[in-house]
């Protein structure tokens, strides 16, 4: 049981993000007491991934088997406040981490024995999405801004950003589940 550490605000003044030798995200941070701490790899997490993807980015130590629950290092309040190319680097890491294929066209969407099967074209190619029975209302989620998030049985997330821009057939298929 480690002593919890104070989480600090990460700004252009005290934090430097850089790519690690193998293309992952490294961080050097100057702690309030003046010591500089280097992390070979850090993990970036969005505190509000749905509504504020560019703000409140929490930076954590990675969880490894030796250090099972990585601790929080600090928070980047707004990505835009970071200088380039650091902001771009962080953004790239976040995009990878929150990669959510956009559904372009829905070929079929049918419910059989309570399980929802979707065949759809996404920006990542054609996919078969299987949504388990009991939680369809939670796994096909209509957000306030009109986006539709679909979480499949493996935990993969797909999104329809503008349902109204889909072709008519896809809209109709999606319509009865939202």
Partner 1 sequence: MLPLDTLSQSCIDALSALGVSMEDITCAVTLDRLADGGAGTGELALSLPLSAFFLFEQGQLTRLDYTPDTLFLLDQYRTESALLMIRAGESRQVAYLSNKPRGKVAAMIDIWQRARDGKQTSPDHPMFKQLASKCATCGKPYRFQKPTCHCDQKQKGQLRRLLSFFRPFRLQLAAVLFCLVLTSLLSLLPPLISGQLLYDQVISPPTYDEAGNMLTGRLHEVQYIFWVIGLLLLVDLLLIGVGILQSRANATMSNRVSQRMKSNVFSAMSRLSVSYFNQQPTGSLISRVNYDAEHIRDFYIDGAPRFIVNMLQFLCMAVLLFLMNWQLSLLLLIPVPLIVVIFRRRLPLLNSAYTRQYRRQSSMTAMLNDSLSGVRVVKAFAKEQEESDSFFRKSTRLYEANLHTNLISLTIFPIVGLLIGLTSSLLWGVGGVEVMGGRMTYGELTAFISYAAMLMAPLNFFSNFTNLLTRTLNSAARIFEVLDAVPDISEREQPVELERLQGRLEFQEVSFGYRPERKVLQDISFRIAPGEHIGLLGHTGSGKSTIANLIARNYDVSDGRILLDGVDVRDLSLATLHRNIAIVSQEVFLFRGTILDNIRYGRPDATKEQVEAAARVAGAHDFIMRLPDCYETFIGNGSRGLSGGERQRISIARALLTDPAILILDEATAAMDTETEQLISAAMETLIENRTAIMIAHRLSTLKNCHRLMAIEEGKLQEIGTHEELMEKKGTYYRLFTTQNDQLLKVMSGE
- List of residues contacting partner 1 (CB under 8 A): 1, 20-24, 40-41, 43, 49, 62-66, 68-69, 96-101, 111-115, 122-125, 127-128, 130, 132-134, 137, 153-158, 172-173, 175-178
Residue 59 beta carbon to partner 1: minimum distance, rounded to whole angstroms: 14
Residue 94 beta carbon to partner 1: minimum distance, rounded to whole angstroms: 10
Residue 99 beta carbon to partner 1: minimum distance, rounded to whole angstroms: 5
Residue 65 beta carbon to partner 1: minimum distance, rounded to whole angstroms: 6
- Buried-state track 86-121, b at ≥16 Cβ within 10 A, e below 16: bbebbbebbeeeeebbebbebeebeeeeeebebebb
Q: What totals of helices (H) and strands (E) does the chain contain, helices first?
A: 3, 13
Residue 172 beta carbon to partner 1: minimum distance, rounded to whole angstroms: 7
Residue (34 or 168) nearer to partner 1, CB: 168
Residue (83 or 146) nearer to partner 1, CB: 146
Residue (62 or 85) nearer to partner 1, CB: 62
- Can you say how many angstroms the Cα of residue 107 is from the centroid of all Cα atoms in its chain? 26
Residue 93 beta carbon to partner 1: minimum distance, rounded to whole angstroms: 10
Residue (11 or 115) nearer to partner 1, CB: 115
Structure tokens at 78: 């707004």
Residues present in the chain in total: 178
Burial class (CB in 10 A: 0-12, 13-18, 19+), 75: middle
Residue (9 or 24) nearer to partner 1, CB: 24
- How many whole angstroms separate alpha carbon 41 and alpha carbon 24? 6
Residue (33 or 134) nearer to partner 1, CB: 134
Cα–Cα distance list, 67 to 7, 96, 143 (Å):
18, 23, 36
Spatial neighbors of 13 by CB under 8 A, at least 6 apart, are 30
């Amino acid at each position: 049981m480690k002593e919890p550490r104070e989480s600090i605000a990460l700004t252009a003044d005290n934090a430097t993000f850089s790519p690690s030798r193998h293309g992952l995200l490294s961080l050097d941070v100057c702690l309030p007491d003046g010591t500089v701490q280097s992390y070979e790899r850090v993990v970036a997490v969005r505190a509000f991934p749905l509504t504020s993807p560019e703000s409140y980015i929490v930076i954590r130590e990675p969880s490894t088997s030796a250090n099972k629950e990585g601790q929080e290092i600090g928070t980047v309040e707004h990505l835009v406040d970071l200088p380039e190319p650091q902001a771009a680097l962080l953004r790239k890491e976040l995009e990878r981490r929150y990669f959510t294929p956009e559904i372009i066209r829905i070929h079929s969407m049918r419910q059989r024995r309570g399980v929802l099967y979707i065949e759809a074209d996404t920006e990542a190619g054609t996919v078969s999405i299987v949504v388990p029975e009991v939680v369809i209302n939670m796994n096909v989620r209509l957000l306030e801004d009109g986006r539709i998030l679909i979480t499949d049985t493996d935990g993969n997330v797909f999104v329809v950003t503008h349902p109204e821009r889909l072709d008519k057939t896809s809209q109709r298929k999606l319509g009865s589940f939202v």
